[in-house]
Amino acid sequence: MVLKLNEFRDKLAGCWAGKNVGGVLGAPFECKRMVPDVDFYIQDLSMGPPANDDLDLQIVWLAAVERYGRNVNAPFLAITGFPM
């Protein structure tokens, strides 16, 4: 499959939005072994979405790759502390 750049960007944006929605809406149930029976949302989002390490770490990786290149790895981030 060959995608045009604008198609790729659209799909990537949709993927990122879906991951954000899933991460925020699913946060109250993370690490719980159950099938939640939820018919409403249980968090107060009036102040915006809460911090989410699953999403925040991806932003840190992206910023590090943009700054230092594709060879960034976990030991590099640990040693440098990656100042933002």
- Say which range, 13-17, 37-41, 50-54, 68-72, has the weakest mean pLDDT: 37-41
More confident residue, 26 or 66: 66
Percent of the chain residues past pLDDT 90, beyond the cut = 19
pTM to 2 decimals? 0.62
Q: Per-residue DSSP letters for 44-55?
A: --TT-PPP-HHH
| CA distance linking residue 28 with residue 21, whole number of Å | 13
